[in-house]
Amino acid sequence: MQRVYNFSAGPSALPEEVLKKAQSEILCYGTSGMSVMEMSHRSKDFMSILDSAESTLRELMHVPENYKILFLQGGASSQFAMVPLNLMNKNKKADYVNTGAWSKKAIKEAKRYGAVNVIASSEDKTFSYIPELDIAKFDKDADYFHITTNNTIYGTRYAELPDTGNVPLVGDMSSDILSKNYDVSKFGLIYAGAQKNLGPAGVTVVIIREDLVGNAMDFTPTMFNYKEHIENGSMYNTPPTYGIYLMGLVLNWVKEQGGVDAMEKINIEKANALYNFLDASSLFKSTVSGKDRSVMNIPFVTGNEEVDAKFIKEATAAGFVQLKGHRSVGGMRASIYNAISLEGVQKLVEFMKQFEAANK
């Protein structure tokens, strides 16, 4: 059985080298005589796996000393609640930008805990752009300012981060963490589910500036309190050990590729290969234009649902899978995270060209 070109939005393709390495260690990790899955999370071997994953992530993202890194569970969706529970602690209000389904969920959850001011939205045009942000609308007394840095479903991303002054910027970076060099010091908090650029589903990374920790609302469940997790080194309860191990392998792989700068360069090349084709195509078209285009998730349509369905069917048969777009956009979407090679994207473009020629 041959491996396919997997364009899934998440959980998504992992580097083949990582899977092979995991395969080689699945029965016995190092000299432990057991699988990482079977190990106590307090064992020396696992502690070193955790420490190494943390230090590699710190190195790759240039995370400053005054930020803590946590490996949690509950997905990015738990962070929709955890962020307000821990950060909406002074004036009980926060600014949010609504750029898609995930922002909307974050907004809905935050409203349970305080006043949410949606300062801009792109819902009027099916979230096909990043709205202009009017600084005059930013609330200087907001406890934080929340954005989704990359919108997985609609294929948009911020070309520039908003300048929120002293208000901590919080970024849901689930679908573009490690795809480009972000200046972590511009954020108060970053969170990301692992299942796109970091590893398998089950681990959630949180990077938080120290001064934001320690003022959670009184009724915050222990498991939702960053302070508890920090004081226990991501070991308040049993962490997702195998997921953290695999994430460590992915982080080492990113390092071997030349780090985040190298990933960014190749990701731009990959995205350009697809966007250039879409812009020239007489059959396919991109649903997003200009600077807001995501480098990770690229939705496209033919304008005819039957042709879309035919394309997806034929692409799947040819080994290009998980290309169906989200139901709210329709058409197709190619998610081209770090593990997708330039060659994989070029092959997809080649296939699309052939399909276009056959379906004029």
Which residues participate in catalysis according to the annotation?
A: 102, 172, 196
Among residue numbers 144 through 163, which ones bind ligand PMP (CB under 6 A)? 148, 152
Left (φ > 0), alpha (ψ -120 to 50) or beta: where does 331 sit?
A: left
Q: Tell me if residue 131 falls in helix, strand or coil.
A: coil
| 8 belongs to the binding site for ligand PMP (CB under 6 A) | no
Among the listed residues 11, 13, 10, the one whose alpha carbon sits nearest the alpha carbon of residue 319:
13
d(CA 96, CA 92): 13
Residues at the binding site for L-glutamate are: 42
CB 23, min distance to ligand PMP, A: 25
Give the per-residue contact string, 230-249, with ligand PMP (x = CB under 6 A; - = no).
--------------------
Among residue numbers 55 through 94, which ones bind ligand PMP (CB under 6 A)? 75-77
User: 11: cis peptide before it, omega within 30°?
Assistant: yes
Give the interface segment with ligand PMP, choosing from 53-61, 169-177, 270-278, 301-309 (CB under 6 A).
Answer: 169-177
- How far are the Cα atoms of 104, 337, 349 from residue 263, in angstroms, in the given order? 29, 10, 20
Binding test (CB under 6 A) with ligand PMP, winner from 174, 220, 241, 267: 174
In contact, 322 and 286? CB cutoff 8 Å: no
CB 1, min distance to ligand PMP, A: 27
Among the listed residues 69, 10, 13, the one whose alpha carbon sits nearest the alpha carbon of residue 253:
13
Residues at the binding site for pyridoxal 5'-phosphate are: 76-77, 102, 152, 172, 195, 237-238
Side-chain-facing half-sphere of 179: CA atoms under 13 Å = 28
CB 61, min distance to ligand PMP, A: 17
Total residues contacting ligand PMP by CB under 6 A comes to 11
Residues that bind ligand PMP (CB under 6 A): 10, 75-77, 102, 148, 152, 172, 174-175, 193
